[in-house]
Amino acid sequence: MMVGGRRRTASRKMAMSALCVTAVLAAGCAKFDDSASSPFTPEPTGASGGEVEPENPPPSTTTTPPPSGPLGPCQDPDPSVIATCLDTTGGLVVLPDGATALVAERRTGRILQVAQGQTPKEIAHVDVDGSTDGGLLDIALSPSFVEDNLIYAYVTTPTDNRVVRIAPGDSAKEVLGGIPRGDAGNAGSLEFSGDELMVLTGNAGNAAAAADPASLAGKLLKVTALSPAPTPAQPRPQVVLSGIGTAGGVCVDPGVAVWVTDRTALEDRLLRVSADGAVSSPVWTWPERPGVGGCVAAGDVVAVSLSTAKAMSALAADPGTGAVTTAPGVIVQDRYGQLGGAALGPDGLIWVSTVNKTAGQPGPNDDRVIKMPLPSGGGGFD
């Protein structure tokens, strides 16, 4: 899963924050039952991934102290919580200032600007079909967002799933349509890799469509034609990966790899496409199916949000091969409920949105946007 500068991948060369920082995450570090995680597919040989190591982060300049006195209905005493009382969320992106993010509400089609200590502000609205698991599913910022303020969104309509472009003061315009929709499996994810838009599509509940080269369902697509109202003359998106189940997230470590998470009937998976286009077998699988969602990647760490497991997991990957040789660590678990979208800010903090209203078990302040530290790997970050 997978913002900054504007993109989720901006400003990767930074000092990274700690795995467990008491001032930020008072609950400390939780642990998964490592015996439940499948080691690899296939079994790794000779590769050694770095273990996740904590390091002290710089003091935060954006965290405000918890409010004193009685709390209002949408106030949260946790200083890591940025926004509260949202409808169930889709994806989110961090704006170039690093202190503000845009978050999608899946069912309402609203895109909200959120920052600590500020009331969420609607900056755009897209008409969507938010039934079942569809709606406003993810957003990404144009690589030149500072100049053009363009937002790309993955949405469900009554007839299909599609990618649209939103310009200031304008309605959403179709960029890529005809992605099959179904009663389930509509989730999708967006992330820019340079000037190319990576589009992760779900299988719409049809595994055969995910394997069909003629279908846009269940694929990782590379889209280069980003103008609205595509014509037959525009190139068809390049299929980078096929056989995707329920889409989780796509995240990019610039010049290194594109990472993808998805959920199949047998397991949840983390897949990798290297910068030269080589596709790895799943580098990690979760047979317990914890509900992989959005992801962020930097250096030799990939962090994945988990809905069913109510956690943010971190995997240390070999910087060269991408091999994962140790069981995932956990940044936080059972503190914020089910986690969905994930984005990396330029200060090295992960922004995460919750999806507790989707599960029908929301807390009084859900749904929320939270910040937490991204751990460093064994090799550290340059």
305 Cβ neighbours under 8 A, 6+ residues apart: 1, 249, 292, 293, 294, 295, 311, 312, 313, 339, 340, 341, 342, 352
Q: How wide is the angle at C-alpha 372 spanned by C-alphas 269 and 255, nearest 5°?
A: 55
Average pLDDT over every residue of 277-306: 94
What letter does residue 27 receive in the DSSP assignment? T
Q: What is the pLDDT of residue 204?
A: 97
pLDDT above 90: residue 22 = no
**Per-residue pLDDT reduced to its tens digit, 312-336:** 999 999 988 899 989 999 999 999 9
User: Where does the pLDDT of residue 1 fall: very low under 50, low under 70, confident under 90, or very high at 90 and above?
Assistant: very low
pTM over 0.95: no
pLDDT above 90: residue 231 = no
Q: What is the spatial distance between Cα 54 and Cα 327, in angstroms, rounded to a whole number?
A: 16
Please report the sign of the dihedral spanned by the C-alpha atoms of residue 16, residue 283, residue 244, residue 306. Answer: negative
Rg of the Cα atoms in the chain: 19
Average pLDDT over every residue of 267-283: 93
Query: Which homologous superfamily is 34-43+76-373 in?
Result: TolB, C-terminal domain (2.120.10.30)
CB 312 within 8 A of CB 294: no
User: Where does the pLDDT of residue 19 fall: very low under 50, low under 70, confident under 90, or very high at 90 and above?
Assistant: very low
pLDDT above 70: residue 25 = no
Concatenating the DSSP letter of every residue in 299-334 gives TTEEEEEETTTTEEEEEEB-TTT--B-S--EEEEES
CB 238 within 8 A of CB 198: no
Which of 58-72, 109-123, 194-208 is the least confident region? 58-72
Q: What is the pLDDT of residue 69?
A: 55
7 Cβ neighbours under 8 A, 6+ residues apart: 93, 140, 141, 143, 191, 192, 252
Average pLDDT over every residue of 79-101: 97
Q: What is the spatial distance between Cα 304 and Cα 285, in angstroms, rounded to a whole number?
A: 12
What letter does residue 365 receive in the DSSP assignment? T
Number of Cβ within 10 Å of residue 215's Cβ equals 20
Q: What is the pLDDT of residue 230?
A: 62
How many residues are listed for the chain in this entry?
Answer: 382
Question: Mean pLDDT, the chain, as a whole number?
Answer: 83
CB 352 within 8 A of CB 339: yes
CA 343 to each of CA 42, 171, 321: distance values in angstroms, whole numbers, following the listed order: 29, 25, 23
Q: What is the spatial distance between Cα 348 and Cα 16, in angstroms, rounded to a whole number?
A: 5
**Per-residue pLDDT reduced to its tens digit, 107-157:** 999 999 999 999 999 999 999 999 999 999 999 999 999 999 999 999 999
